[in-house]
Amino acid sequence: MRNKSLIVLLVLTMVFGLTALGQATTAKDTLVMANYRDLRDLNPHLYGGEIFGQNLLFEGLVFLDQTGNPTPWLAESWKVSPDGKLYTFKLRDDVSFTDGTKFNAKTAKQNFDTLLENGTRHGWLESIRLMLAVQNKGKEAVRTTGEYTLEIEFAEPYYPFIVELGVTRPFRMISPKCFKGKTSKNGVNCLHGTGSYILKDNTVDEYSEFVANENYWGKKPAIKKIIAKVIPDNQARLIALESGDIDLVYGLNLISPKAYKRFENKKGFGTVMSDPMSTRMMILNTTRPELSDARVRRALQYLTNRQIISDKIMLGMETPAYTLFSKNIPCANIDLEPYKYDPKKAAVLLDEAGWKMDGSIRKKDGKELKITLTYDSDKVLERTIAQYLQSMWGKSGVKMKIVGEEEQAHRDRLKGGDFDISFNISWGTPYDPQSFIGAMRKPVYGDYAAQQGLKEKAQIDQAILDALKSVDIKKRQEHYTYILKTLHEEAVYLPLTYERNRAIFSDKVKDVGFNPSQFEIPLQRMKLQ
């Protein structure tokens, strides 16, 4: 009898003990968010850390506001020389790093110098390349001209520099005392920035804790403590949100359209979606015999029903795209005639190009109109779109073969130009249009290979260079208009949808919004109820 009572007591204790553990909800002054991986290395001058973490600790000279406009941050103001080659920054005089080191022109220069020292790693940035070109002439590209005045010189004018300064990496400032040796190239010993938060704790692969910086020079953030829990599994993250273990799941890659829909009308939760940020598209290789005729490429545009892709595959999470960039992207507000879904127009174009219907397939000189679409097999959505297009195009006599392959193999294929059609995504704001367009000149991406069949390729490349150098806004727009119009008329790109960033959160969190870059999380603007 006594034994039985003991067992009952033990079971009750366990149940109530565990109940208390299971019903954990997050503390009132703390925002608990989920990320799919650890913070890793937050060195702001390298690329191996979580951007949201770097964004909390480190600040740059320029801040990109919600619309992507550059506004003063650690630099109070700046001016550009008439020839567009010299930038002069007036820095704030009231800022210190969290280790007490004063932020001034000297420390800012040390940050730029260490980036130039690791120039190969940052070779993708035109601005670094142009600063190095100055250095190679034996002149310093970054100079201090006063305690709070910094000068940066380029070999050639380069207008997107101010925007590049605004993105999280690699131009954010860290206390030079954190450098390993005299450079950040080989890593950093500490993470002292000027940001509104401090990293208090990071238990690798479990969670990291950020607390508000009490000595912050600017407006102090409303949330005192942020905990980022590492939950790698998609479903597990949503369950944690549902059970109250976390308050926020943020980002395109962390929230599938289905998951967003699930929480859209759920009591106790909120959802929010950004403006279009990047373009999901297909690249058509103009060097392939079947696709070398612009009429065929245009016909494929008319055969693509973007509305169905948006509604049925993306569940309304992405809007139909008819141009390479959405109109809210800088310099992309151009009137271009959209290729709206119209199979009849497509049939006329294909007939004109000599591809006549023969049974269920189109043929020209006895050769069938067969196209191969390649994609990265990890991307399930792309496979679904491919299967839909295969069936739709097939009805109009265009036979499509779908090949899914491992990521690296797919990238190599793109780089080598060994494809008919492939999926692609633009770099997104604030890199669009300048960085995405700029990369078309380099044989690193599929764009370069796909455009080789265009008669105007040389002019397009020249226009890209001219646009990036252009100091005059009107002339710059003219170059962009030429590039975007030519690519649109030549139908090299088949835009499908515009991607939009998204977030799901508990009712506790207020003012969840978006920064221009989809990789940043504007935690500084959020509030807790």
Partner 1 sequence: MHVYIIRRTLIALATLLAVSFLSFSLVNLTPANPAEVALRVNDVIPTPEAIQEMKIELGMDKPFLVRYAIWLERCAHLDFGTSFTNTNRTVAGELARSFPYTLKLTSVALVLLILISLPVGVASAVWKDSLFDKGVRFIIFAGTSVPNYWLAFLLIWLFSLTWKILPSSGTSSLAHYILPALSLNTLYIATYVRLIRNSMLENMKENYTLYARARGISEKKIIWLHVLKNSLQSSITALGIGIVRILSGTVVIENIFAIPGIGRLCVASIFNRDYPTLQAYIFIMGVFFVLTNFSIDILHCMVDPRLKTRAQHA
Q: How far apart are CB 323 and partner 1 at their closest, in Å?
A: 25
The conformational region for residue 421 under phi > 0 = left, psi -120 to 50 = alpha, else beta, is: beta
Closest listed residue to residue 343, CA positions, set 312, 296, 299: 299
CA dihedral (28, 33, 34, 40) in degrees, to 10, reads -120
Interface residues toward partner 1, by CB under 8 A? 15, 17-19, 21-24, 37, 40-41, 46-48, 120-121, 123-124, 187, 204-206, 229-233, 235-236, 239-240, 242-243, 245, 406-409, 412, 442, 444
Q: Rounded distance, CA 448 to CA 441, Å?
A: 6
CB nearer to partner 1: give 139 or 442.
442
> Distances from the Cα of 206 to the Cαs of 231, 233, 309, in angstroms?
8, 13, 38
DSSP 239: H
Q: Rounded distance, CA 385 to CA 391, Å?
A: 10
Q: Rounded distance, CA 162 to CA 181, Å?
A: 29
Q: Is 483 helix (H, G, I), strand (E, B) or coil?
A: helix
What lies within 8 Å, CB to CB, of 12 at 6+ separation is: none
Q: How far apart are CB 234 and partner 1 at their closest, in Å?
A: 10
DSSP 216: -
Q: Rounded distance, CA 443 to CA 417, Å?
A: 9
CB nearer to partner 1: give 19 or 529.
19
- For 51, the token pair is 């951007």
Q: How far apart are CB 254 and partner 1 at their closest, in Å?
A: 14
